[in-house]
Chain A
């Protein structure tokens, strides 16, 4: 058998091609801090001044201060050997993407001694290496009802370590690029140990969204067009076409060896063996062919205990449910119930804690069903949960929608879902597998455009024993 038909070889190829593609496309995203397009935007901003719609961040208290550099230094209030974990923060002005807000100064804000998993930093580790965690301190939109309000809040970083104290050096490198910026404006990061809080110098970290407007016309007139063009260019580079000949060649080689296309071959093979396409490679495939290459939403499930992969397709697509077993004549009708994710998502506005009975979500979602289920997904902390709701109410004053839940939300102790988590509307779909004989890999396609599946289970009314063996995947 040709190597091109083996999962090991194709996995390695997909991995290196996927990584190559991923590394390139992220540079075109001007909203992601640190990319080429982001810095081109910042260069333009230096000349243009002011704020840019949709960007969020802190602004200098004195907007006419030509000195540019805000001095938001979070002061370390702690001194050994006390054990409170507090910092003080001066009055801040923020731009939330639409308007300016002033946040009053906070004295002795308690960062807390528990890390993101609820472990205290003063747990013993021995020696001179106390446990520590890192957190981002920022301005949090914590509104529930009524007017929009802002508070100081923290995001605790998943990376943790036990390290000597007095160490600031890896603070910046510890900050992930993917924390929810939409509803959280960072002002500093800090290492929290059993004995001290070490805040960073905020200027290096914060995305300053305001710059004084340049006072002269000439630099703006002379320099802005070229900078604007640079940003446009970087945002518009389409790297996917560089990989098109490779994709075509991969298809050709697979056809020569197996008489079917690359997608067809692996669609079938994925039913027979454990194989998943590389996520970045799937993204590339979608960019070129405007369709999903193939992604599994569940592992093969032999009972109603289903392991969801929580993968999303590169583009909304139909869902395929496959019966993995061959069936004889006496096989009864079995239905697979799916909670599919509708395209698009909203962002959680407030925090959710165990036992909460309301959920507040950004924007006007009054077009969503008045009762049903939503799926809340927080990649940052790896938390996913389905909750039912009985009614929804849109509050125009704060531009958010309140969901009245069917019951108290069930989360593990100490788990908090933060603002910015994605909220999906779920729909229930059913794949019927009619009674009677059928060969293995009979499939039922649930037509529609869905962003994956949040939950699945099989059901039947037959009184005898039925072997359940299904897989749910993209179609």
Chain B
């Protein structure tokens, strides 16, 4: 009665994960540029008018909600210094946008590019330079002519309270990336501090495309003068996410229901049942061949399970894979930062007990009872008030866990009357706007007198998303000094 080997299972899980991840990316959602549902959502906006997205270009709403609906570079100017060196300046108008749900705008600005052409018609070289990166241009002009098309896009807003402090214009392709920092006033900083170049936009978070730039060889005067020309093409009219209200009822009444139908059909077709059958067979296989649950088999063998595979499993079974949250030993206590995608029972399991007499007694913990995404900070206030992505049914006041780059903090909160705004009432507040916050519940378990190696204790009777920390760190250290334990789901 052979059970699948851990090596085979790891390879199998990897392939299943990749399959699901690819399918998920293809379906996407209205905030995933390039996905099926994003484009369907754009079609709806195009037919209906208004806006549906938390990411994209808006009409210039700095004064009213009206304005220019097509954001395009206003000009490209070329200056020839007489030494085959061309300098380009690409100007953009004031741009309004919504980014991660936060509306903002940046004043008109100008980006600068340098370029060079060596003067040889055949086999010559040319490039466009943005900061310290080069874009090669084929200069032969033959049928095999290929030029790289660069994209200018917005990403990485720096938010300081409600204000957009800086926004980064990037030009990038798969080959190279260059960036220009523009401050809120629209000033181009000629030699700013530039953070490491980002990965291409397809792999690195949300971005807002503004324009494509195609460099090509430029001749005039019958070929006497040669240089480089930049042509702008436009993704921006498609990527803008706000359109004027539809004025033609015929279009609205006929096309909008059809698009809504297409959306729901795509969602309905994304059946996960065949994936469930695979997990069912794995579960049955592990149970019948090795008398162990599939989750335990994965956990016991230390197999790597990606977040997307956990997401798939949680969607199918409302249960996550087994996760470790914290471990302790005489060497100290460390937490993993993991948060389960579905609620489950959380235990402390003692792998070794070196001094049984030191362990029994109460142990207070903060467990994660709920979690909610954060859209951003509320505009126009000096308090630390977060706008939540969903309405939550939490107590009017309590404690939340907020993760910053330095630590896991616990803060007192007060929930707004409408349930979608949360104000931090602690004396201090975090230095970041988190992506997600966690409702904490204080739970105390009792470690029995007869605790032994291999035994475990439930941290609470109910199910939770995870473990945030200990109420009494001295007590936790005392336990760790006298045992080796792990806090995990079952």
Residues of A within 8 A of B (CB): 2-4, 9, 12-13, 15-17, 19-21, 23-24, 26-27, 34-40, 42-43, 45-47, 66, 68, 116-119, 123-125, 127, 129, 131, 158-163, 170, 173-174, 214-219, 222-223, 225-227, 229-230, 233-234, 237, 239, 241-243, 245-246, 248-250, 252-253, 256-257, 381-383, 412, 415
Contact assessment for B269 and A237 in the assembled complex, using a CB-CB cutoff below 8 Å: yes
Contact assessment for A43 and B174 in the assembled complex, using a CB-CB cutoff below 8 Å: no
B26, B127, B142: which contacts A125 (Cβ < 8 A)? B127
Subset of 21 A-B contacts with CB under 8 Å: A3-B248, A20-B39, A23-B36, A26-B26, A40-B19, A46-B15, A68-B11, A116-B144, A117-B138, A124-B125, A162-B176, A163-B133, A222-B285, A222-B288, A223-B281, A226-B277, A242-B269, A243-B262, A245-B262, A252-B254, A382-B143
Q: Which residues of B contact A234 (CB under 8 A)?
A: 19, 23, 274
Report the nearest B residue to A253, measured CB to CB: B254
Report the nearest A residue to B289, measured CB to CB: A218
Q: Is B357 an interface residue (CB 8 A)?
A: no
| Known A17-B39, A46-B12, A230-B19; 17 more pairs at CB < 8 Å | A13-B43, A15-B238, A23-B28, A24-B26, A38-B22, A39-B22, A42-B18, A45-B15, A123-B125, A129-B132, A160-B146, A222-B281, A226-B278, A230-B277, A245-B257, A382-B143, A412-B144
B8, B22, B269: which contacts A214 (Cβ < 8 A)? B8
Name, among A20, A129, A163, A243, the residue most crowded by chain B CB atoms within 10 Å (CB to CB): A20
Q: Evaluate whether A43 and B15 lie within 8 angstroms (CB atoms) in the complex, with A4-B251, A162-B134 already known.
A: yes
Cα–Cα, bound, A77→B238 (Å): 48
Q: Which residues of A contact B2 (CB under 8 A)?
A: 215-219
Q: Which residues of B contact A4 (CB under 8 A)?
A: 248, 250-251
Q: Which residues of A contact B143 (CB under 8 A)?
A: 382-383, 412
Contact assessment for A226 and B4 in the assembled complex, using a CB-CB cutoff below 8 Å: no
Q: Which residues of A contact B84 (CB under 8 A)?
A: none
A36, A161, A219, A239: which contacts B136 (Cβ < 8 A)? A161
A123, A242, A249: which contacts B265 (Cβ < 8 A)? A242
Q: Evaluate whether A20 and B43 lie within 8 angstroms (CB atoms) in the complex, with A234-B274, A246-B255 already known.
A: yes
Q: Which residues of A contact B11 (CB under 8 A)?
A: 46, 68
Contact assessment for A160 and B266 in the assembled complex, using a CB-CB cutoff below 8 Å: no
Cα–Cα, bound, A229→B279 (Å): 12
Q: Which residues of A contact B8 (CB under 8 A)?
A: 46-47, 214, 219
Q: Is B318 an interface residue (CB 8 A)?
A: no
Report the nearest A residue to B281, measured CB to CB: A226
Give chain A nearest CB distance to B289 CB in angstroms: 5
Cα–Cα, bound, A36→B16 (Å): 9
Q: Evaluate whether A21 and B4 lie within 8 angstroms (CB atoms) in the complex, with A43-B12, A163-B175 already known.
A: no
Q: Which residues of B contact A248 (CB under 8 A)?
A: 258
Report the nearest A residue to B22, measured CB to CB: A36
Q: Is B1 an interface residue (CB 8 A)?
A: yes
Q: Which residues of A contact B255 (CB under 8 A)?
A: 246, 249-250, 253
Contact assessment for A256 and B250 in the assembled complex, using a CB-CB cutoff below 8 Å: yes
Contact assessment for B127 and A21 in the assembled complex, using a CB-CB cutoff below 8 Å: no
Q: Is B212 an interface residue (CB 8 A)?
A: no
Q: Is B282 an interface residue (CB 8 A)?
A: yes
Q: Which residues of B contact A245 (CB under 8 A)?
A: 257-258, 261-262
Report the nearest A residue to B139, measured CB to CB: A119
Q: Which of B122-159 contact A (CB under 8 A)?
A: 123, 125, 127, 132-136, 138, 140, 142-144, 146, 148
What is the number of residues of chain B that contact chain A, defined by CB distance less than 8 Å? 77
Interface residues as binary, B445-468 with A (CB distance below 8 Å gives 1, 0 otherwise): 000000000000000000000000
9 closest Cβ pairs, A-B complex:
A161-B175, A39-B19, A242-B265, A216-B2, A43-B15, A162-B134, A36-B23, A20-B39, A249-B258
Give chain B nearest CB distance to A224 CB in angstroms: 9
Q: Evaluate whether A19 and B34 lie within 8 angstroms (CB atoms) in the complex, with A27-B22, A125-B134, A222-B281 already known.
A: yes
Q: Which residues of A contact B34 (CB under 8 A)?
A: 19, 23
Give chain B nearest CB distance to A437 CB in angstroms: 40
A23, A36, A118: which contacts B35 (Cβ < 8 A)? A23
Q: Is B284 an interface residue (CB 8 A)?
A: yes
Contact assessment for A253 and B15 in the assembled complex, using a CB-CB cutoff below 8 Å: no
Residues of B within 8 A of A (CB): 1-4, 7-8, 11-12, 15-16, 18-20, 22-23, 26-28, 34-40, 42-43, 46-47, 123, 125, 127, 132-136, 138, 140, 142-144, 146, 148, 173-176, 200, 203, 237-238, 248, 250-251, 254-255, 257-259, 261-262, 265-266, 269, 271, 274-275, 277-278, 280-282, 284-285, 288-289
Cα–Cα, bound, A124→B1 (Å): 66
Cα–Cα, bound, A117→B126 (Å): 14
Q: Which residues of B contact A214 (CB under 8 A)?
A: 4, 8
Contact assessment for B26 and A36 in the assembled complex, using a CB-CB cutoff below 8 Å: yes
B15, B23, B146, B271: which contacts A27 (Cβ < 8 A)? B23
Contact assessment for B40 and A20 in the assembled complex, using a CB-CB cutoff below 8 Å: yes
Q: Which residues of A contact B275 (CB under 8 A)?
A: 230
Cα–Cα, bound, A38→B144 (Å): 32
Contact assessment for A161 and B36 in the assembled complex, using a CB-CB cutoff below 8 Å: no
Q: Evaluate whether A229 and B200 lie within 8 angstroms (CB atoms) in the complex, with A245-B261, A246-B259, A250-B255 already known.
A: no
Name, among A2, A17, A242, A256, the residue most crowded by chain B CB atoms within 10 Å (CB to CB): A242
Contact assessment for A43 and B19 in the assembled complex, using a CB-CB cutoff below 8 Å: yes
Q: Which residues of B contact A27 (CB under 8 A)?
A: 22-23, 26
Contact assessment for A170 and B175 in the assembled complex, using a CB-CB cutoff below 8 Å: yes
Q: Which residues of A contact B269 (CB under 8 A)?
A: 237, 239, 242
Cα–Cα, bound, A158→B175 (Å): 11
Report the nearest B residue to A42, measured CB to CB: B15
Cα–Cα, bound, A12→B251 (Å): 14
Q: Evaluate whether A159 and B35 lie within 8 angstroms (CB atoms) in the complex, with A36-B26, A230-B274, A249-B255 already known.
A: no
Contact assessment for B135 and A24 in the assembled complex, using a CB-CB cutoff below 8 Å: no
Q: Evaluate whether A118 and B123 lie within 8 angstroms (CB atoms) in the complex, with A230-B274, A234-B23 already known.
A: yes
Report the nearest A residue to B142, measured CB to CB: A412
Q: Which residues of B contact A37 (CB under 8 A)?
A: 19
B23, B174, B278: which contacts A174 (Cβ < 8 A)? B174
Q: Which residues of B contact A246 (CB under 8 A)?
A: 43, 255, 258-259, 261-262
Q: Which residues of B contact A127 (CB under 8 A)?
A: 132
Give chain A nearest CB distance to B130 CB in angstroms: 12
Q: Which residues of A contact B18 (CB under 8 A)?
A: 34, 39, 42
Report the nearest B residue to A25, measured CB to CB: B26
Give chain B nearest CB distance to A222 CB in angstroms: 4
Contact assessment for A174 and B238 in the assembled complex, using a CB-CB cutoff below 8 Å: no
Cα–Cα, bound, A129→B284 (Å): 57
Report the nearest B residue to A2, measured CB to CB: B248
Q: Which residues of A contact B42 (CB under 8 A)?
A: 16
Give chain B nearest CB distance to A18 CB in angstroms: 8
Q: Which residues of B contact A9 (CB under 8 A)?
A: 46
Cα–Cα, bound, A379→B261 (Å): 36
Cα–Cα, bound, A459→B224 (Å): 37
Q: Which residues of A contact B148 (CB under 8 A)?
A: 159-161
Q: Which residues of A contact B47 (CB under 8 A)?
A: 13
Report the nearest B residue to A163, measured CB to CB: B176
Q: Which residues of A contact B43 (CB under 8 A)?
A: 13, 16-17, 20, 246
Q: Evaluate whether A218 and B3 lie within 8 angstroms (CB atoms) in the complex, with A158-B146, A239-B266 already known.
A: yes
Give chain A nearest CB distance to B14 CB in angstroms: 8
Contact assessment for A223 and B4 in the assembled complex, using a CB-CB cutoff below 8 Å: yes
Give chain B nearest CB distance to A112 CB in angstroms: 16
Q: Which residues of B contact A216 (CB under 8 A)?
A: 2, 4
Contact assessment for A16 and B238 in the assembled complex, using a CB-CB cutoff below 8 Å: yes
Cα–Cα, bound, A46→B4 (Å): 11
Q: Which residues of B contact A16 (CB under 8 A)?
A: 39-40, 42-43, 46, 238
Cα–Cα, bound, A35→B47 (Å): 31
Contact assessment for B39 and A117 in the assembled complex, using a CB-CB cutoff below 8 Å: no
Give chain A nearest CB distance to B69 CB in angstroms: 12
Cα–Cα, bound, A117→B123 (Å): 9
Q: Evaluate whether A381 and B144 lie within 8 angstroms (CB atoms) in the complex, with A161-B135, A230-B275 already known.
A: yes
Q: Which residues of B contact A381 (CB under 8 A)?
A: 144
Contact assessment for B254 and A249 in the assembled complex, using a CB-CB cutoff below 8 Å: yes
